[in-house]
C-alpha cells in the first residue's frame, strides 16, 4: 500500500499545494528525505512565483501535472543542516535552489555543467525523484537538495529580491552570455517588460550594452527609460519607429509568451543578429525563412542554465546590485496573487514571505 505524502520520508514538512486543475492552493502536510551525506537542508524564507507555476497548478501544459502539487522553483533560505561530505556551504549560510534538483551526472550536458538540458533532469517541483516519490517545491517551510543543486548567496544580496534570479534571472543571463551578446557596446532589444524583461534590461546594461525595450504598450515607456535605465523605447505598433530601427540590433531577447509575429523582430536585427526566444507561446510561431537567409540571422531558444552558470549569475548580480523588482506577499495571499498574475497585474515578480507567514496558515 502506497504511503501518504506525510509518511514517505522522515522529515516533516508543510506547504501549500494544488489538488486538482482548479489550481487552488491550500495548506498541505508532507515530508522530505533525511539529510544525506551530499545533501543540504535549509529553512525556506522566500519563494518567487514564476508564471510557469500558474500553468503547472492548472495543468495547462497537456497533462503534465501530478497532484498534490507544491509549486515553487525560486526558493531561498538559511542552511540548517549539511551532510558529512558537503563542502560548498555550512550551517547559517544563505542559499537557494532553482529549477533543477537532479540529473544523470554522466551525459554530455551534465559533463559540461548543463544539467538543465540532461534527458534525465529532475525538476524541483512536479517531477519524480529516482525513488519514485514526487518532488515538492518551494511553497513550503523546508528543502533538502544535493549540494550540486545548491546556490550560495553572498551576504550583500537581499534574499527576498534575489529569489527570482534563480529562474527569471538565469533565463535572461544565460542567452546573453551564450550567444555573445554580453559584450560592451552591443545593441540589445528586449521584447516584453515583465518578470523576465525587466531583469534582461538590468543584466544587459550591467554588461555595458545599449538596450532598447520593445513593447506594444506606450505605458511602459517611462518605466523602461526612467526606472530601469534602458537607452531607448520602441513602440512595436508604430510602423515609423519600427522602420527607423531596422537592421540596428545585435540581438533580441523575446520574453513574450503570447502568440505574436516574429518577422518584425527579425527585421530589427543586423546581419548575423540573433533573436532568442524565451517565452512559451501556446501555439507555434510562424518562422519566415527568407529574412533569415538575407542576413545570416539566427532564431534560437534558451532555457535556464546549468548550476555553474547560475552561481556565476548570482555572484555577478551581487557585484552589480541587480535584484528583481518584487511585491512581497503573505502565504495566504497566494491564490489572489495567481489571479493577478494571470492578468499581468504584478510589477514585476511576486515573492512569498515563507519564513514569516507560512506557519500562521498551518492547520
At 313 the three-state DSSP class reads helix
pLDDT in tens, 270-323: 999 999 999 988 788 999 999 999 999 999 999 999 999 999 999 999 999 999
Write down the domain spans for the chain. Answer: 11-166+324-361, 168-301
Q: What is the pLDDT of residue 27?
A: 98
Closest CA to 146 of 101, 107, 108, 103: 101
326 alpha-carbon distance from chain centroid: 14
Q: What is the pLDDT of residue 3?
A: 86
Rounded mean pLDDT, 28-54:
97
Q: What is the pLDDT of residue 63?
A: 77
Quote the Cα angle for 89-127-282, to 5°: 115
Q: What is the pLDDT of residue 1?
A: 59
CATH superfamily, region 11-166+324-361: Medium-chain alcohol dehydrogenases, catalytic domain (3.90.180.10)
Q: Are 5 and 340 in contact (CB under 8 A)?
A: no
Gyration radius from the chain CA atoms: 21
Q: Residue 50 pLDDT more than 80? A: yes
Helix (H) or strand (E) holding 64: none
Closest CA to 204 of 235, 230, 236: 230
Closest CA to 57 of 14, 100, 95, 28: 28
Quote the Cα angle for 79-12-53, to 5°: 75
In terms of Cβ atoms closer than 10 Å to its own Cβ (0-12, 13-18, 19+), residue 130 is exposed
Rounded mean pLDDT, 138-167:
98
pLDDT in tens, 223-276: 999 999 999 999 999 999 999 999 999 999 999 988 899 999 999 999 999 999
Name the phi and psi angles at 242, rounded to 5. -65, -45
Rounded mean pLDDT, 168-197:
97
Rounded mean pLDDT, 57-85:
95
Q: And the C-alpha cell for 2?
A: 502506497
Which fold does the domain 168-301 belong to in CATH?
Rossmann fold (3.40.50)
**Chain mean pLDDT for the chain:** 96
Rounded mean pLDDT, 334-346:
96
Rounded mean pLDDT, 61-87:
95
Name the phi and psi angles at 38, rounded to 5. -105, 10
Percent of the chain with pLDDT over 90: 95
In terms of Cβ atoms closer than 10 Å to its own Cβ (0-12, 13-18, 19+), residue 282 is exposed
Cβ atoms within 10 Å, residue 214: 29
Amino acid at each position: 500500500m502506497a504511503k501518504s505524502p506525510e509518511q514517505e520520508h522522515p522529515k516533516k514538512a508543510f506547504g501549500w499545494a494544488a489538488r486538482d486543475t482548479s489550481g487552488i492552493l491550500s495548506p498541505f502536510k508532507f515530508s522530505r528525505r533525511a539529510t544525506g551525506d551530499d545533501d543540504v537542508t535549509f529553512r525556506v524564507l522566500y519563494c518567487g512565483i514564476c508564471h510557469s507555476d500558474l500553468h503547472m497548478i492548472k495543468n495547462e501544459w497537456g497533462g503534465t501535472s501530478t497532484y498534490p502539487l507544491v509549486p515553487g522553483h525560486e526558493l531561498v533560505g538559511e542552511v540548517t543542516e549539511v551532510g558529512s561530505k558537503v563542502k560548498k556551504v555550512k550551517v547559517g549560510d544563505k542559499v537557494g535552489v532553482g529549477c533543477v534538483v537532479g540529473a544523470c551526472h554522466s551525459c554530455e550536458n551534465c559533463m559540461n555543467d548543463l544539467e538543465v538540458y540532461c534527458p534525465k533532469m529532475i525538476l524541483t517541483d512536479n517531477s519524480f525523484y529516482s525513488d519514485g516519490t514526487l518532488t515538492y517545491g518551494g511553497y513550503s517551510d523546508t528543502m533538502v537538495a544535493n549540494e550540486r543543486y545548491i546556490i550560495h548567496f553572498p551576504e550583500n544580496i537581499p534574499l527576498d529580491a534575489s529569489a527570482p534570479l534563480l529562474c527569471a534571472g538565469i533565463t535572461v543571463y544565460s542567452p546573453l552570455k551564450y550567444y555573445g551578446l554580453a559584450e560592451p557596446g552591443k545593441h540589445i532589444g528586449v521584447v516584453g517588460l515583465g518578470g523576465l524583461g525587466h531583469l534582461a534590461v538590468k543584466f544587459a546594461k550591467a554588461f555595458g550594452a545599449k538596450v532598447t525595450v520593445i513593447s506594444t504598450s506606450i505605458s511602459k515607456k517611462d518605466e523602461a527609460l526612467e526606472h530601469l535605465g534602458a537607452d531607448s523605447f520602441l513602440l512595436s505598433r508604430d510602423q515609423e519607429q519600427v522602420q527607423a530601427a531596422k537592421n540596428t540590433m545585435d540581438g533580441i531577447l523575446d520574453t513574450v509568451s503570447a502568440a505574436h509575429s516574429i518577422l518584425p523582430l527579425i527585421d530589427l536585427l543586423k546581419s548575423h543578429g540573433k533573436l532568442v526566444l524565451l517565452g512559451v507561446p501556446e501555439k507555434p510561431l510562424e518562422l519566415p525563412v527568407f529574412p533569415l537567409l538575407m542576413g545570416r540571422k539566427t532564431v534560437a531558444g534558451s532555457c535556464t542554465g546549468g548550476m555553474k552558470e547560475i552561481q556565476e549569475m548570482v555572484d555577478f548580480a551581487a557585484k552589480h546590485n541587480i535584484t528583481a523588482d518584487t511585491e512581497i506577499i503573505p502565504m495566504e495571499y497566494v491564490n489572489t496573487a495567481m489571479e493577478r498574475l494571470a492578468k499581468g497585474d504584478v510589477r514585476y515578480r511576486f515573492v512569498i514571505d515563507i519564513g514569516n507567514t507560512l506557519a500562521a496558515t498551518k492547520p
